[in-house]
Structure 1
Amino acid sequence: MAKPDPALLDASRYPFHHEIVPRFADLDLNRHINNVTMAAYIEDARVRFYEASGYRKHLTGLSTMVVSLNLEYLNQTHYPDPVTIACAVERVGRTSMTMIHVVTQNEVPVVFSRCVTVAVDASGQTVAIPELLNEWTLRP
């Protein structure tokens, strides 16, 4: 699989950053941060992004569903150095949103992720994505 566009790996371009300090329990047998743990780190940053952007308030009475989640591992991630997850909206559709994340450790990109989500009401019907997320979109 081809590496992502290098411009997408520049964490300084992203509007939101969240740092996580790995726990020893987050490691695999090779003392790398476990792949499943990395997905959980990205999930945590995404939820914190929802709060910071105001999107969480829009979700009152709604649920979000992950439609697609793709992680590309670019480098090894080691304990105990913290990782920073940078988040941005890549695209807002009528009822779906694509977010991108670049995870860095010691300023080196280690993971690139793309996640598509939808918001649904109690009946399971998708609802419109608010325009407020446009200001959180990654700019060229």
Structure 2
Amino acid sequence: MNVSPSHEDALRLEDFPYRLGDNVRFGDLDPNWHVNNAVFATYFESARVMLMKDPNNDLMPKGLTWIMVRLDIQFRAELRWPGTIEIGLGIAKLGRTSVTFDQVIFAQNTCVASAQAVNVLIDEATRMPTPLPPKLISNFQPWLRRGTAASA
């Protein structure tokens, strides 16, 4: 299943500063014997959660939490079992209350999927969006996608 060419054809894993390796599991397959489309969302989620929840990155301010508001996935090639993948993540944009992630999945040096995800920072008590604190903006800087000048 090859997806028609787009401006994203030049995606390079090295442009994504956060990386996470994973295995393709037999249970990830659908009746067509390739990875089911819904599983790609789980792969992308794993990378975002690992980055955000790692206490060394300090991206989870006390009393605040993140919610997903958008996920757009472009399926670029079939992914089969058995195999391994590498998920790349880079910050594309820092908004007033949100962060936009660009993500890719590579298998055998081929980009099999790309995605853009938007998460909004909310107050845990009020469940309302809250502006990104300056310290949080600073903590996101190491994770900017190469060639991106994200701003808040």
Same fold judged by TM-score > 0.5?
A: yes
Instruction: Please give the alpha-carbon distance, in whole angstroms, between the structure 2 residues aligned to 1:139 and 1:84.
Output: 17
| Residue 45 (structure 2) aligned to one of 38, 43, 46 | 43
Residue number in structure 1 paired with 2:140: 133
Write the letter of the residue equivalent to 2:88. A
Instruction: Please give the alpha-carbon distance, in whole angstroms, between the structure 2 residues aligned to 1:92 and 1:14.
Output: 16
Provide the secondary structure at the position in 1 that maps to 2:24: coil
Residue number in structure 2 paired with 1:89: 91
Provide the identity percentage: 27
Contact 2:90 2:146 in 1 (8 A): no
Instruction: Please give the alpha-carbon distance, in whole angstroms, between the structure 1 residues aligned to 2:7 and 2:98.
Output: 22
Q: Which one has a bigger Cα radius of gyration?
A: 2
Residue number in structure 1 paired with 2:122: 120
Aligned CA RMSD, in angstroms, stands at 1.6
Q: TM-score when scaled to structure 1? A: 0.90
Contact 2:92 2:102 in 1 (8 A): yes
Instruction: Please give the alpha-carbon distance, in whole angstroms, between the structure 2 residues aligned to 1:35 and 1:53.
Output: 30
Contact 1:4 1:112 in 2 (8 A): no
Cα drift, residue 124 of structure 1: 1.3
Structure 1 unmatched runs, 5+: none
Instruction: Please give the alpha-carbon distance, in whole angstroms, between the structure 2 residues aligned to 1:15 and 1:106.
Output: 19
Contact 2:17 2:146 in 1 (8 A): no
Contact 1:21 1:81 in 2 (8 A): yes
The Cα offsets for residues 76-123 of structure 1, whole Å up to 9 and x where unpaired, read as 001111111100100001101100101000110000000011011120
Q: TM-score when scaled to structure 2? A: 0.83
